[in-house]
Structure 1
Amino acid sequence: MDTLTDLVDPAMFREAMSRLVAPVHVVTTSGEGGACGLTASAVTSVSDRPPIVLVCVNRKSLTNAAFKRNGSFCINTLEGNQQDLAEAFAGRTGLSMPERFALGSWVTLATGAPVLESARASFDCRLTDVIEQGSHSVLFGLVEAVRVGSHDSALVYLDRAYHQV
């Protein structure tokens, strides 16, 4: 094993990661870099004082540069019945970005990033730091506003499939 990338077979790593349950989010941004979004499960809190979250965005994603240029993003946690939004923002439907946004009703809070009105929770963030790590950019955001939605079922991803819990 010559490099760190030789430690674990990538296919085996992806298979093992598919066994972890994760909430599904649509992460959005808007500004000079354009309005766009993506489906993400690699989202977590970092700190509550100050409130900081992170989201991992593939460096090859067409949205990556827009998030960095706009300097803000909103993490919208999906309800169990919002698989259509997850599929659309994952790029699996062939819809353009404006068509994807047409699937939901959106507002803005502090940063101007699109906030999904029907989300279980939304975290409106100002981008504070980016760390390039492996295949992804880790975006850190200071939460400037929060919107809490219903307690209905949540959409999660497990074993390469969506589930409602």
Structure 2
Amino acid sequence: MNVVPRDLMTEIPVSSADVRGAMRHLTGGVSIITAGRGKDVTGMTVTSVTSLSVEPPTLLVSINRDASSFSLIKRHGAFGVSILNADQLDIAERFAGKGGLKGADRFAGSQWLTAVSGVPLLAGALSAFDCEVEEILERHSHGIVIGRVRDVRSSTRNAALAYWHGQYVAVDQDEDAARLADASVPARACRGV
């Protein structure tokens, strides 16, 4: 089924501040996107990674077209995704620009593996993916990058780093599952929803 484009109503403008504020309610897993090869590398912290398909294995990430990572992804046709564990807050902040580090300087102080495509993948990440660019859809300020997964590495850790309401939070599968079970709304209370 194809979607037919239609004219969108633009009479009621929505401010970017309102959208940004509303999106703070969406909890996102924290990942590092890496791009480039050798010393010509860069990376960024994102919460915009999602699985597009498992057959074939494909990921989707949204990247600002002005970001240095975007141009390297376009040039090399590959990118890495490292899903951070709860102990990697310092790496998330470094790749988000805290401290003013840019490019290859952001990689100092952490162990990195070189993927088959040449992109760096973070050692000790919950999961790491080596992706070949399948397609880039440029819309507004961002590019939606679709990547075919060429290699995947996973750890046995369970505690993830998430971002919610402008703050990093640790999500531990064992501890938080028990807390959620205690705080869950009984199923009969949800029937009226």
What's the TM-score once normalised by structure 1's chain length?
0.92
Higher relative contact order (CA 8 A, sep 6+): 1
1:65 alignment partner, SS class = helix
What amino acid is the match of 1:134? H
C-alpha distance after superposition, 1:62-101 (max 9, x if no partner): 2211111111001000011111111111112212323211
User: 1:34: how far off?
Assistant: 2.4
How is 1:73-92 mapped onto 2 (pairs within 5 angstroms)? 73-92=79-98
Residue equivalent to 1:69: 75
- Mapping for residues 38-117 of structure 1, pairs under 5 Å: 38-117=44-123
State the alpha-carbon separation in 2 of the partners of residues 128 and 91 from structure 1: 28
Q: Please point out which of 4, 15, 34 is paired with 1:28.
A: 34
Distance 1:13 1:70, change over 3 A: same
Partner of 2:154: 148
Unaligned 5+ runs, structure 2: 1-7, 172-193
Please tell me the residue identity of whatever aligns with 1:21.
T
Query: Which residue pairs with 2:130 in the alignment?
Result: 124
Inter-CA distance 6–114: structure 2 relative to 1 (3 Å threshold): farther
d(CA) in 1 for partners of 2:109, 2:10? 42
Secondary structure, in 3 states, of the residue corresponding to 2:66?
coil
State, as a whole percentage, how many aligned pairs show the same letter.
35
Map of 1:1-12 to 2, 5 A cutoff? 4=10, 7-12=13-18
Number of positions where the alignment pairs a residue of Structure 1 with one of Structure 2: 164
Report the residue type matching 2:156 in the other structure.
S
TM-aligned CA distance change 1:108 to 1:136, over 3 Å? same
Inter-partner Cα distance in structure 2 for 1:34 and 1:156: 28
Shift of 1:6: 5.3
Q: Deviations over 1:104-163 (max 9, x none)?
A: 101123211101111000111001100011211111100000000132310000001100
Q: Judging changes above 3 Å, is the alpha-carbon distance between structure 1 residues 5 and 129 closer, same or farther for their aligned structure 2 residues?
A: farther
Bigger-Rg structure (1/2): 2
Cα offsets for 1:47-74 (capped at 9, x unmatched): 1111010111111212211111111001
Using the alignment, how far apart are the partners of 1:25 and 1:121 within structure 2?
Answer: 9
**Does the 8 Å contact 2:113/2:123 carry over to 1?**
yes
CA 1:16/1:5 → structure 2, altered by over 3 Å: closer, same or farther? Answer: farther
Contact 1:76 1:120 in 2 (8 A): yes
